[in-house]
Amino acid sequence: MSKVIQWINWSGSYVSTPDFIEYPSSEKELLEIIDKAKTENTTVKVVGSGHSCSLVGATKKGYLIDLKGYNQILEINTSLKTIKVAGGVSLEKICNTALENKLALPNLGTIVEQSIAGAISTGTHGSGFKREALDQSVIAFTILTANGEKKVFDKYINSEEFYTAVVGIGALGIISTVTLQLVDDFNLAIQTKSISFDEMIANVDCYKTNDYMRFWWAPHTNRVQFWTAHQTNQKTTKASTILSWYQDIFKGNIMHEFGLWITSFFPNLIPQLNRFMFASLLSKENKQITNFLDGFTLPIHVKQSVMEYGIPIENTEEVLVKIKALLDQKKYKVHMPIEVRFAPKNKANLSMAYNRDTCYIGIIAYKPYGKTMDYDAYFKDVHDLFAVYKGRPHWAKVTYYNKAELNSLYPNWKAFKDLSEKLDPNKMFVNNFLKRIL
């Protein structure tokens, strides 16, 4: 009896069981795998860091390609402020290379472990109405198609095709190289303070005047951390390494995970845990100046399942009030934080922010020590609420939409589907997730 081959994603939310797992380190090796899959009439699915908790990267057959060895910085041009990288390069490596050359990415999310190919394919973003999502920093990328062609998508040569493909959810082929537009290096002047839920509602419009802004709302506490930042050339403030470890690693991860594990047996204690963790981590008013990488990111080690949708920004207050009412009505005991972020409209066809100013709202269910929590009813109820406002899903996170609903949410959905059928007519790159939505 042959041994089953397994690949498990970061959060343990799914297990892939392909026939083969490949770890290529060059474009030549990627093309050889495509050629083998074509000859054998089987499928190919590509994964980066595996941080997605949706099934976008899952497979039950064929070849699974893990890009972690395909991680070269191919070229950096300090005059043009561009960087060209292999698809498996992590955002962290890109950011550190940029810093070494006095350059930066204009926006980032909370973590940077993701591969660049996975991050742009799923629409990864940060928060800032004046700064767009990561995929908007891409100026060109190369996809290896099912027939072994190297197809270049260039923003300045064929923008319509580029924006159809840039958030590609793994349906078009293998992203081999990515070229990003960087900006001059900057530091972040960050300010945090604790406010009430009602004060959050009253301050929503502040997204218009801040370079970067987000809310971290702790359910069951009536408290919110209000985080704002702006670009600056001021020198960074010195932080104690020991104090940072105590705050971010010990309290933010080790202590929180233990508390989450205890409340997995006693869910009625979740409100008390949220109050304790908010007071420990998020309640103090703080000002600091950091480099852009440290300012945007946090070490997050506790496994989790997440659902995040982008809604029209003008509906933000109404939706937040309705989420709070839902929690009160259904008596759900839910983990903190509920994250509220903002973005301007962009041009990527499958982006959450396509052609509309957007508020991203994310909810979370932790998995302490890998233990799965029963969150489905809570997630489904919040999904139904988002759906009323035509909320669009983050492709790396949980969604309940079907293909007909998605077709109605994205004006250019058919153009994307047509492109996927053109580049992959025999469905080499299609898995069950893509079958369900396409």
Same domain flag for 124 and 98: yes
Amino acid at 395: W
**Cα separation of 96 and 119, whole Å?**
17
Same domain flag for 244 and 375: yes
Same domain flag for 252 and 214: yes
Same domain flag for 223 and 98: no
Kindly state whether residue 50 falls inside one of the protein's structural domains.
no
Same domain flag for 226 and 324: yes
H-helix or E-strand spanning residue 33 = helix 27-40
Residues in Cβ contact with 398 at an 8 Å cutoff, skipping those fewer than 6 apart: 53, 54, 305, 306, 307, 379
237-269: pLDDT as tens digits: 987 889 999 999 999 999 999 999 999 999 999
Same domain flag for 78 and 201: no
Kindly state whether residue 99 falls inside one of the protein's structural domains.
yes
The last residue of a domain, from among 184, 215, 230: 184
- Is the predicted pLDDT of residue 2 greater than 70, yes or no? no
Residues 8, 419, 307, 194, Cα dihedral to 10°: 120
Q: What is the pLDDT of residue 373?
A: 87
Which among 419, 356, 423, 352 has a CA at the least distance from the CA of 391?
A: 352
CATH code, 134? 3.30.465.10
Same domain flag for 389 and 320: yes
363-409: pLDDT as tens digits: 999 999 999 988 999 999 999 999 999 999 999 999 999 999 999 99
Tell me the average pLDDT across 281-288: 95
The last residue of a domain, from among 130, 153, 184: 184
Same domain flag for 206 and 345: yes
35-73: pLDDT as tens digits: 999 999 999 999 999 999 899 999 999 999 999 999 999
Structural domain boundaries enclosing 348: 187-393
129-163: pLDDT as tens digits: 998 889 999 999 999 999 999 999 999 999 999 99
Residues in Cβ contact with 419 at an 8 Å cutoff, skipping those fewer than 6 apart: 161, 164, 165, 172
- Which two tokens mark 115? 């591969």
Same domain flag for 350 and 324: yes
CA geometry: angle 306, 9, 397, nearest 5 deg: 25
Residues in Cβ contact with 191 at an 8 Å cutoff, skipping those fewer than 6 apart: 227, 228, 229, 285, 286, 287
Kindly state whether residue 416 falls inside one of the protein's structural domains.
no
User: What number of CA atoms fall less than 13 Å from residue 261's CA on the CB side?
Assistant: 12
189-220: pLDDT as tens digits: 999 999 999 999 999 999 999 999 999 999 99
Kindly state whether residue 61 falls inside one of the protein's structural domains.
no
Helix, strand and coil percent figures for the chain, each rounded to 5: 35, 25, 40
Of all residues in the chain, what percent carry a pLDDT higher than 90?
96
Kindly state whether residue 89 falls inside one of the protein's structural domains.
yes
Same domain flag for 130 and 210: no
Kindly state whether residue 374 falls inside one of the protein's structural domains.
yes
Same domain flag for 229 and 350: yes
- Which two tokens mark 339? 């994250």
Same domain flag for 112 and 201: no
**Cα separation of 185 and 324, whole Å?**
39
H-helix or E-strand spanning residue 40 = helix 27-40
Q: What is the pLDDT of residue 42?
A: 97
Q: What is the number of domains present in the chain?
A: 2
Kindly state whether residue 4 falls inside one of the protein's structural domains.
no
Kindly state whether residue 385 falls inside one of the protein's structural domains.
yes
The last residue of a domain, from among 184, 200, 225: 184
Quote the pTM value: 0.96
90-113: pLDDT as tens digits: 999 999 999 999 999 999 999 999
Tell me the average pLDDT across 319-338: 98
CATH code, 247? 3.40.462.10
Q: What is the pLDDT of residue 3?
A: 63
